[in-house]
Structure 1
Amino acid sequence: MRIGSAVSALTLLAAPAAAGIRLSGTERVRVETISGQARAGFNSSDTLLNFRTTLLAEYGSGPVQLAAELWDSRVFGADRRTPVSTNEVNTLELVQVFLKADLGEGLGANSRTSVQIGRLMLNLGSRRLVAADDYRNTTNGYTGLRVDYANKAGWQATAIYTLPQQRRPDRLDALLDNKTSPDHEGFDLVLWGGTVSKARVIGEVALEGTYIHLGERDRPSRPTRNRSLDTFGGRVLREPAIGKFDLEFEGFVQRGEVATSLAPNAALQSVRAWFFHADAGYTFRGAWKPRLSFDYDHASGDGRGGRFGRFDTLFGMRRADLAPAGLYNAIARTNLISPGVRLEAVPDKKTDWFVSYRPMWLASRFDSFSSTGVRDASGRSGRFAGHQVDSRIRRRVSPWLTLEADAVLLRKGRFLTEAPNAPPKRWTRYLSLNVSASF
């Protein structure tokens, strides 16, 4: 959607303020710095200033809601070797413009159904496959249809058919200049599927099933890997509660085809990939409500032979499980084996913090490690990637102002120091300071 249309849509929604229009917005300013970059091909050290501004207009009349949300994400202080992409820059984009209708008990007594159509932001299930990323400077948008269903027996279901918004511009020079260009959505990239869940299947334990299909094909002057991926998954969940044990187990199997390269006539190869996450914890009684948990993440990588084994997390988030995005952005749900331990607490109603430790290995020593781009095709650099300590503290200063600091320390292991294209330096240090205001 072009900028003129975006502004017109916001003006139309915002005009009759007396008729029930609700306006809200956010501004987040982030300063982040890194030294000893772990990703291949970038500056060893960088400092980046991020701005993210949102403006949401909503109108509700009975069971019908209209909304439009404008996002403006931009960065300053980057050069051509700074890892800047559409994850950081997407200026003046109308990410959401939708109509939502509440159908009440249209699908049965004691049930509730809603339909949402237009440009949407989506969070499905655990958010490991489909999410509206929040830590990242830009978000994921999807154009299409969403249907939600729930009943008093504890069943919930969500179905989607969408065209993911492909952020533009995506050329480095345009991103460094914070240029504006309308995002693209089309049938060259399609995402559909959904989730079904049942609460309290065994005591307080819930079950959830997921199926997501991604279809991708080339456009003129836009070569792709022509992915056709079917991802099936299941989750077992018991939510954290004071004085109780909690758990989460989730696994995905991924099948389909992917092209061997971006060449127009590249051969297709079959995909055999998978991912598993486990989390078990206990929340102690006390003023700070401390929770201690043990995690395990295992995502397949690409080995030798004709099959493709690298797990694709599609549009999933990473901050909640693994590590920050931004200048760090080294750890993702692919070619990774990592147990971990995490301690988190809520000292008061305005403050929360956590610290975690995880050692990391490559699932396949022949593939690049996670999202670093560091690779040894011979496999001679081993599989140990390093030790990571990750932490965050947030403080809500007032109802409209929040402060946040994120810090990561990575001691690189043998693979990240000996692989042929491994960046220099043994340690990676990352820090981000954030100020978020809302109205």
Structure 2
Amino acid sequence: MLRAVPLACLTLSAATPAFAQQREGLDLSATTRLRYEAIDNQLRAGFDRSDMLVNLRTTLLASYREGPFTLTAELWDSRVWGDDPGTPVTTGEVNTFELVQANAAWRTRIGKARVTLQGGRFTLNIGSRRLVAADDYRNTTNGYTGFRADMAAPGGVSATAIYVLPQQRRPDENVALRRGKVEWDHEGFDQVLWGGTLAKAKVIGPVSIEASFFHLGERDTPGRPTRDRSLDTWGGRVMRDPAAGKMDFEVEAFHQSGSISASAAGNAARLPVSASFVHADLGYTLRDAWKTRLSLDVDRASGDRPGGRFGRFDTLFGMRRADLAPAGLYNAVGRANLVSVGPRIETAPSKRIDLTATWHAMWLAARADSFSTTGIRDASGRSGSFAGHQVDARLRWWMLPERLRFEWTGVVLAKGRFLRDAPNAPRGGTTVYNSLNLTASF
């Protein structure tokens, strides 16, 4: 169960209303988020059965706009305390004193279309954010270095194209990482991401469509072997936005092809890739004062099967929180070898409070592959495919509007047969995760 909350979590000050105001001149903003999280009966293999962690994430954003030009710089500092050797601390939790953004943007018109060109270091949120995103729940974010072009044309047509080198967070060695060593993140042609999206709003009534394609290329560098991924991910989505008294829906599907090494060993065999992912949800928003939305969500991400092809879906740089579950100490459910089905409720009792809750039943898409991102596997497939039932809830409250926000996140996972019987499944009963967050903005 959740341990006593450190006093620091209740005395937080300072962070970010954002550079979206687009005023000319200089804008400065900042955020500080303090998180206390705890887990009992850790689901992932190889870590402490019960654990706690304190996370601190601080950002400072500066932007200068003059006419069609904007210069932006953003510093991130992400640290943790309270860990021990059995705590899962990675570059998802720690990245100290990093200039994640340092870029220039130019806005212009080509005919009737509005065009923005951007170059340098920046964050990205593209389309549904299931493939390319700047993760918000996680203590660190994803940064990219390169070029981006955005176009918005009459008739609801929009497009985004990128050619970027994903920032590989450093240090990633365990000792230096836990000590909070400051080291510039690496970007290089050993990892390249390019592609984009094309969308059209209101194709048929309120229904919009979007097509996406991204290529990820990866190769070894001295002392850092990789799986040498060469992945083409393409697909699209169809959606109708929520509205009071109306049904809404979203369907997004991706196919992934290319090649990958069987392991990180230099002489590993190359395997052809054939993987897929589908998300679908059907919802209805009530005509009540709380703007309550009820929906049914379905997600399926393929897993690897015997047969000479690699079938485990790679979500590239996508976020997981909105659809599946939180990262942090939990971090057990992502878009890989997963079938998830269940209802969701979203409601806002006031302008300052909102609540989301889900219940998902989960299975493995491939019995002999590891379940999602847990590392738990039964290569024989004899432990079955049912992983369990997950209940996930989030409450957010603006204690001071636009200045100080409290958030509680809680997850309960009742283990199914696979998570009880697989050979390397951690012992213990129901998994319980809680986090308390305070975010201050200025």
For normalisation by structure 2, the TM-score amounts to: 0.94
> 2:305 is matched by which residue type in structure 1?
G
2:413 alignment partner in structure 1 = 410
1:84 alignment partner in structure 2 = 89
1:210 alignment partner in structure 2 = 212
RMSD of aligned residue pairs (Cα, Å): 0.7
Tell me the CA shift for residue 180 of structure 1. 1.1
Tell me the CA shift for residue 286 of structure 1. 1.1
Is the Cα contact below 8 Å between 1:205 and 1:236 reproduced in 2?
yes
**1:181-206, Cα deviation, whole Å (9 max, x unpaired):** 11000000000000000000010000
1:335 alignment partner in structure 2 = 337
Question: Pick from 292, 302, 306: which aligns with 1:300?
Answer: 302
- Name the CA distance, whole Å, in 1 between partners of 2:248 and 2:431: 32
- Name the CA distance, whole Å, in 1 between partners of 2:342 and 2:131: 21
- Name the CA distance, whole Å, in 1 between partners of 2:364 and 2:148: 37
- Name the CA distance, whole Å, in 2 between partners of 1:426 and 1:228: 40
1:316 alignment partner in structure 2 = 318
Structure 2 counterpart SS, 1:226: coil
Is the Cα contact below 8 Å between 1:80 and 1:172 reproduced in 2?
no
2:161 alignment partner in structure 1 = 159
Structure 2 counterpart SS, 1:175: helix
1:186 alignment partner in structure 2 = 188
Tell me the CA shift for residue 426 of structure 1. 2.0
- Name the CA distance, whole Å, in 2 between partners of 1:129 and 1:80: 31
Question: Pick from 20, 40, 56: which aligns with 1:51?
Answer: 56
- Name the CA distance, whole Å, in 1 between partners of 2:433 and 2:405: 20
Is the Cα contact below 8 Å between 1:279 and 1:294 reproduced in 2?
yes
- Name the CA distance, whole Å, in 1 between partners of 2:320 and 2:334: 6
Matched, 1:97 2:92: no
1:62 alignment partner in structure 2 = 67
2:176 alignment partner in structure 1 = 174
> 1:434 is matched by which residue type in structure 2?
N
1:71 alignment partner in structure 2 = 76
Matched, 1:146 2:151: no
2:361 alignment partner in structure 1 = 359
Is the Cα contact below 8 Å between 1:125 and 1:195 reproduced in 2?
yes
Tell me the CA shift for residue 152 of structure 1. 1.7
2:431 alignment partner in structure 1 = 428
2:273 alignment partner in structure 1 = 271
- Name the CA distance, whole Å, in 1 between partners of 2:367 and 2:355: 34
> 2:66 is matched by which residue type in structure 1?
S
Tell me the CA shift for residue 179 of structure 1. 1.2
- Name the CA distance, whole Å, in 1 between partners of 2:335 and 2:25: 43
**1:73-102, Cα deviation, whole Å (9 max, x unpaired):** 010011111111000000000000000000
Structure 2 counterpart SS, 1:173: helix
**1:93-122, Cα deviation, whole Å (9 max, x unpaired):** 00000000001x22x22x100001000100
- Name the CA distance, whole Å, in 2 between partners of 1:424 and 1:163: 40
Tell me the CA shift for residue 20 of structure 1. 2.5
Question: Pick from 367, 371, 374: which aligns with 1:369?
Answer: 371
> 1:76 is matched by which residue type in structure 2?
W
- Name the CA distance, whole Å, in 1 between partners of 2:176 and 2:383: 37
2:6 alignment partner in structure 1 = none
- Name the CA distance, whole Å, in 2 between partners of 1:182 and 1:197: 36
Which of 1 and 2 has higher RCO (CA within 8 Å, sep 6+)?
2
**1:159-191, Cα deviation, whole Å (9 max, x unpaired):** 000000000000111121111111000000000
- Name the CA distance, whole Å, in 2 between partners of 1:61 and 1:351: 37
Moved >4 Å (runs of 4+): none
Question: Pick from 260, 284, 292: which aligns with 1:290?
Answer: 292
- Name the CA distance, whole Å, in 1 between partners of 2:235 and 2:437: 35
- Name the CA distance, whole Å, in 2 between partners of 1:375 and 1:390: 24
For normalisation by structure 1, the TM-score amounts to: 0.95
Is the Cα contact below 8 Å between 1:79 and 1:176 reproduced in 2?
no
**1:320-362, Cα deviation, whole Å (9 max, x unpaired):** 0000000000000010011110011011111100111001000
**1:267-301, Cα deviation, whole Å (9 max, x unpaired):** 11000000000011000011111110000000000
Tell me the CA shift for residue 373 of structure 1. 0.1
- Name the CA distance, whole Å, in 2 between partners of 1:318 and 1:157: 24
> 1:430 is matched by which residue type in structure 2?
Y
Alignment of 1:216-231 (within 5 A): 216-231=218-233
Question: Pick from 254, 257, 278: which aligns with 1:255?
Answer: 257
Aligned length: 418
Structure 1 counterpart SS, 2:420: helix
- Name the CA distance, whole Å, in 2 between partners of 1:193 and 1:360: 31
Is the Cα contact below 8 Å between 1:243 and 1:283 reproduced in 2?
yes
